[in-house]
């Protein structure tokens, strides 16, 4: 199945959750924010939110200096 991750096509497994995606990308979720189809997802819902075909996922992290 395919999603759009930060503007690029990405192949993921069926029924993959946000936590699974973060693990496969080796991203720690402490200082990031995630939006799926324009809606921000609470960290407590990362393990509950299943990604679907065609979802647009944005992962952002703060960068010092503005």
What CATH number is associated with residue 23? 3.10.20.30
Question: Which helix (DSSP H) or strand (DSSP E) does residue 57 occupy?
Answer: strand 56-60
What is the number of structural domains in the chain? 1
For the chain, what is the mean pLDDT?
94
* Tens-place pLDDT, residues 4-28: 999 999 999 999 999 999 999 999 8
- In this structure, are strands 56-60 and 33-36 parallel, antiparallel, or unpaired? antiparallel
Please determine, for residue 1, whether its predicted confidence score (pLDDT) is greater than 70: yes
Would you say residue 66 lies in a domain?
no
Question: Which helix (DSSP H) or strand (DSSP E) does residue 8 occupy?
Answer: strand 8-11
Would you say residue 37 lies in a domain?
yes
The structure's pTM equals 0.90
Structural domain containing residue 14 = 2-60
Please determine, for residue 66, whether its predicted confidence score (pLDDT) is greater than 70: no
């Amino acid at each position: 199945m395919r999603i759009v991750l930060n503007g690029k096509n990405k192949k993921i497994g069926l029924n993959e959750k946000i936590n699974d995606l973060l693990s496969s990308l080796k991203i720690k979720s402490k200082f990031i924010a995630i939006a799926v189809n324009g809606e921000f997802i609470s960290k407590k819902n990362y393990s509950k939110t299943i990604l679907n075909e065609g979802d647009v996922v944005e992962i952002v992290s703060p960068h010092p200096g503005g």
